[in-house]
Amino acid sequence: MRVLIIAVVCRRVLGRGAGAGGFVRMWTKSLGATAVGAHQLTDRPMAAQIPVQVIDIKSMGPRIVVSDSQESVHFMRYKKAENQLVVFCDETTPRYVTSVCLLDFDTVAIADRFGNISILRLPKNVVEDVQEDPTGMRALWDRGNMNGASQKMELIAQFYLGDMVTKLQKTSIVPGSDDALVYTTMCGAIGMVVPFLSRDEFEFFQTLEMHLRVEHPPLCGRDHLSYRSFYAPCKLVVDGDLCEQFATLEPAKQREIAAALGHKPGVVVKKLEDLRTRYAF
Spell out the long-range contacts of 171-179 with Cβ–Cβ below 8 A and sequence spacing 24 or more.
173/279, 173/280, 173/281, 174/279, 174/280, 174/281, 177/278, 177/279, 177/280, 178/278, 178/279
Q: Stretch 171-178: mean pLDDT, rounded?
A: 87
Domain segments of the chain: what residues? Answer: 43-194, 196-281
Provide mean pLDDT across the span 130-136: 51
Fold (CATH) for 196-281: DNA polymerase; domain 1 (1.10.150)
Q: What's the rounded Cα separation, in Å, for the pair 24 and 45? A: 21
Do the beta carbons of residue 85 and residue 48 sit within 8 Å? yes
The answer to whether residue 136 scores a pLDDT higher than 80 is: no
Average pLDDT score over the chain: 84
Predicted pLDDT at 48: 61
Tens of pLDDT, residue by residue over 26-56, are 666 666 655 544 444 444 445 566 888 888 8
Q: How far, in Å, CA of 61 to CA of 48, rounded? A: 19
- Cα–Cα distance measured from residue 164 to residue 186, given in angstroms and rounded to the nearest whole number: 6
Q: Could you tell me the pLDDT band of residue 160, with boundaries at 50, 70 and 90?
A: very high
What 3-state DSSP class applies to 245?
helix
pLDDT at res. 134: 44
* pTM summary value: 0.79
CATH number of 43-194: 2.130.10.10
